[in-house]
Amino acid sequence: MHKKLLESGEYQYGTYKVQPVEWADGDWQGSGLWLRAMVTNRRLLLLPEKSIQSLQNQSIRAAEIARVWNVCLQGKDGIMVQYRDGSRIYLLVDWSQGGKLAKDLNTMLQPLPKPRIMPRLLPN
């Protein structure tokens, strides 16, 4: 199933269970269902569970993300994703995987390494 979601040249770093949350009434409140978050080398995919057909997959490209932090959301493990426009989303992460999810997202955001030795071009 994951192969269908990936674009050509895209590969997966990890998959996590997350829930979007918002700050309301002095506490973090779940603002949606638990989702699967798949981090690839190009984007963050937020996927609903198989049984929920009415929800759409959400794809967030690396170019849209400015920064990612592993945060504690009132004693619970989570991450904060800040978009380039300054808006943010907060996600609770299941089973204390926030650090690993943040690491995978930061790996996605890093530019590709340049080769140490440039290939020689053949003269025309």
Residue 40 belongs to some domain of the structure: yes
Tens-digit pLDDT profile for residues 7-35: 999 999 999 999 999 999 889 999 888 99
Indicate whether 124 belongs to any domain. Answer: no
Q: Has residue 113 got a pLDDT over 80? A: no
> Which tens digit of pLDDT belongs to each residue from 51-101?
666 678 899 999 999 999 999 988 889 999 999 999 999 999 998 899 999
Whether 89 is in a domain gets the answer yes
Instruction: Decide if 120 is inside a domain.
Output: no
Q: Which one, of 102, 4, 109, lies nearest residue 62 by Cα?
A: 109
Whether residue 54 is contained in a domain is answered as yes
Q: Which amino acid is at 41?
A: N
Structure tokens at 37: 């978050």
Question: Is residue 99 included in any domain, yes or no?
Answer: yes
In a domain, 72, yes or no: yes
pTM of the model: 0.84
What is the pLDDT confidence band of residue 3, given thresholds at 50, 70 and 90?
A: low
CATH of the domain at 73: 2.30.29.30
> Residue 66 is part of which domain span?
12-109
Residue 78 and residue 68 in contact, taking contact as beta carbons nearer than 8 Å = no
Average pLDDT of the chain to the nearest whole number: 89
pLDDT band at 109 (very low <50, low <70, confident <90, very high): very high
The pLDDT of residue 53 is 62
**Domain assignment of residue 43, yes or no:** yes
Q: How many domains does the chain have?
A: 1
